[in-house]
């Protein structure tokens, strides 16, 4: 594991730095701990979503040719672990999260850990299921923003991006007969 992190530190370190910088902006922008950590958690989730899409959409390999898939997976996992920390601190300053969020999100983190630790050739079905499960969690999270007027634009952008990513993944895979 240490060798893997040393080999991929060029993506893990910038991902962690960016994530902590996002938290700092949240902490400097608002005046109460609840709002500071709420936005830090929300913005680190958005950053994680962008990194996730770079894994989920195969066509992005052409845009990011120097960053291999494994590096992008580790960058996403790093950013999302920082998000988990911000999310936990936010909930220490506010109400407890609902049970559905804890169960589905916890399963998502367990799946993310398995995807990081187990190489795709060893468990291809788990990787197929896992990446779609994480996609679903992001989609559902963005869709939940429709009920909050402050988050509706982000919800529209997030849902549209994740639905477009699914279409690209399903119908425009490199080498696909459906191209």
Residues of the chain with pLDDT below 70 are: 1-11, 61, 64-65, 173-179
pLDDT one-digit tens code per residue, 77-102:
999 999 999 998 898 888 777 888 88
Query: Which of the 8 DSSP states describes residue 86?
Result: H
Structural domains of the chain, count: 1
Note the pLDDT of residue 140. Answer: 95
Handedness of CA 125, 127, 128, 133 (dihedral sign): positive
Residue 148's SS3 state is coil
Whether 65 is in a domain gets the answer yes
Whether 112 is in a domain gets the answer yes
Note the pLDDT of residue 92. Answer: 87
Q: How far apart are CA 57 and CA 61, in angstroms?
A: 8
Q: How far apart are CA 103 and CA 159, in angstroms?
A: 22
Whether 177 is in a domain gets the answer no
CB contact set of 130 (below 8 Å; sequence gap of 6+):
111, 112, 114, 115
Note the pLDDT of residue 179. Answer: 40
Whether 121 is in a domain gets the answer yes
Tokens 């920390």, located at residue: 85
Whether 176 is in a domain gets the answer no
- On whether the CB atoms of residues 72 and 51 are closer than 8 A, the answer is yes
Tokens 């594991």, located at residue: 1
Residue 36's domain comprises: 2-171
Whether 32 is in a domain gets the answer yes
Whether 88 is in a domain gets the answer yes
Whether 123 is in a domain gets the answer yes
Note the pLDDT of residue 177. Answer: 42
Note the pLDDT of residue 172. Answer: 76
Note the pLDDT of residue 33. Answer: 87
């Amino acid at each position: 594991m240490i060798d893997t992190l040393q080999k991929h530190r060029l993506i893990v370190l910038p991902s962690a730095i960016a994530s902590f910088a996002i938290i700092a902006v949240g902490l400097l922008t608002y005046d109460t701990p609840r709002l500071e950590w709420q936005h830090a958690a929300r913005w680190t989730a958005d950053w994680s979503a962008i990194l996730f899409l770079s894994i989920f959409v195969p066509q992005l390999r052409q845009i990011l040719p120097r960053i291999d898939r494994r590096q992008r997976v580790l960058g996403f996992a790093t950013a999302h672990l920082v998000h988990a920390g911000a999310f936990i601190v936010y909930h220490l300053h506010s109400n407890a999260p609902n049970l559905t969020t804890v169960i589905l999100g916890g399963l998502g983190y367990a799946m993310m850990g398995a995807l990081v630790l187990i190489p795709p050739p060893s468990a291809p079905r788990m990787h197929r299921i896992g990446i779609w499960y994480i996609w679903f969690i992001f989609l559902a999270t963005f869709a939940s923003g429709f009920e909050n007027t402050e988050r509706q634009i982000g919800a529209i952008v997030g849902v549209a991006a994740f639905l477009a990513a699914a279409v690209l993944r399903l119908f425009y895979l490199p080498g696909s007969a459906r191209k």
